[in-house]
Amino acid sequence: MQALSFPGGKGPNLIVDDGGDASLLVHLGFKGENDPKVLDVKASSNEEAIILNTLKEIRKSEPGKWHDVVRDLAGISEETTTGVHRLYQMLEKGELLVPAINVNDSVTKSKFDNLYGCRESLADGIKRATDVMIAGKVVVVCGYGDVGKGCAKSMRSYGARVIITEIDPICALQASMEGFEVKTVEDSLDEGNIFVTATGNRDIITLEHMMRMKDQAIVCNIGHFDNEIQMDRLTGMPGLERVNIKPQVDKYVFPDGHAIFILAEGRLVNLGCATGHPSFVMSNSFSNQTLAQIDLWRNRYKVGVYRLSKQLDEEVARLHLDQLGVKLTKLTEEQALYLGIDKAGPYKPEHYRY
């Protein structure tokens, strides 16, 4: 709450969000001031209960706080898949209160943070937490979006056999064409040694799944923050023994004697068990966030969800090339005219998919 509270009862002029939590507090708090019953719903998780209770306390101690915050808020920039999805949902329902920029779908964010970042930081988190040898293991990666793609390629490079689970036929076809086996979680339980959730959705690994996993299986999450793995149901299971091996590494022994290891309590393994993505990858993401904040402040958009221009996306990439020793080829006037583009870019249309 400190990040959303300034002296004199003021709030922020802009929000840099990562996961949608700050945006959720503002919008749910605003809605709760209009209709207190909104905050009286039954919480589906411990985290949601904390949010609801916090907003109830604020409604009593600082009535009207969220209306004041929204009045001064010029916009939100969001850099996660799940956070962006929530923004579009609010927009469709007519509930979005301020303009927002979808940073996640900038190419220099999604392809770098989500794909290249996870390709390195997943292994970093698993190795620091367990020191396990990945070669020869069966790794089940749930989800084959950009995050899942990076994770699958990383695990395969270590010598693991990788199984993908997917709901999207296009992503499933991509995985198959890359040589990965595509199955359901249920069909993978008897052979998976390491399970990685990377979907941005909830209840991907359920309590029933964990009860059927092989002894000593490792379970971790690198997708959405805290509900891809059913941790509340796991920790509330009667007869379950929890053994803390070291910070962020817990062994859960089931009544039948088999055990699994949960990393980072089901939260992001690359942050909980390591230090996140490499700084070079994050430089791309944060460059996008910075440009988005400047854009929001200068242009004062109407309420909606926007994306950074292709020109700015290319500029983020251009700024990082010297560090890698990259030298770009330059178009001739004739070549630019032939393609119908400016010599200085942008080089691809807005609808182009990299």
Give residue-wise pLDDT tens across range 254-282: 999 999 999 999 999 999 999 999 999 99
**Are 130 and 261 in contact, with CB atoms under 8 Å apart?**
yes
Does the pLDDT at position 3 exceed 90? no
- The confidence score (pLDDT) of residue 192 equals 98
Strand partners, 199: none
> Model confidence at 353, in pLDDT bands (50, 70, 90)?
confident
Give residue-wise pLDDT tens across range 178-222: 999 999 999 999 999 999 999 989 999 999 999 999 999 999 999
Q: What is the DSSP letter of 301?
A: P
Does the pLDDT at position 225 exceed 80? no
Give the pLDDT mean for 3-17: 90
- The confidence score (pLDDT) of residue 275 equals 96
**Are 255 and 210 in contact, with CB atoms under 8 Å apart?**
no
Q: Which residues contact 54 (CB under 8 A, 6 or more apart)?
A: 1, 25
- The confidence score (pLDDT) of residue 118 equals 97
- The confidence score (pLDDT) of residue 110 equals 87
> Model confidence at 48, in pLDDT bands (50, 70, 90)?
confident
Does the pLDDT at position 59 exceed 80? yes
CA-angle at 45, arms to 39 and 48, nearest 5° = 35
Is the preceding omega at residue 247 within 30 degrees of 0, hence cis?
Answer: no
- The confidence score (pLDDT) of residue 7 equals 87
Distances (CA, A) of 300 to 69, 134, 224, 293: 16, 49, 30, 11
Per DSSP bridges, beta strands 100-102 and 249-253 are: unpaired
Give the pLDDT mean for 223-252: 95
- The confidence score (pLDDT) of residue 262 equals 98
Buried b (16+ CB within 10 A) or exposed e, 206-222: ebebbbebeeebbbbbb
C-alpha 107: how far from chain center = 15
- The confidence score (pLDDT) of residue 17 equals 95
- The confidence score (pLDDT) of residue 288 equals 94
- What DSSP letter does each residue of 68-116 carry, written as one string? HHHHH--EEEE-SHHHHHHHHHHHHHT---S-EEE-TTSHHHIIIIIII
Give residue-wise pLDDT tens across range 66-86: 999 999 999 999 999 889 999
- The confidence score (pLDDT) of residue 13 equals 96
> Model confidence at 45, in pLDDT bands (50, 70, 90)?
confident
Distances (CA, A) of 265 to 225, 242, 283, 324: 10, 11, 28, 36
Cα distance between residue 297 and residue 245, in whole Å? 47
Work out the percent of the chain whose per-residue pLDDT is above 70: 100
> Model confidence at 226, in pLDDT bands (50, 70, 90)?
confident
- Rounded to two decimals, the pTM is 0.85
Give residue-wise pLDDT tens across range 113-165: 999 999 999 999 999 999 999 999 999 999 999 999 999 999 999 999 999 99
- For the chain, the average pLDDT equals 95
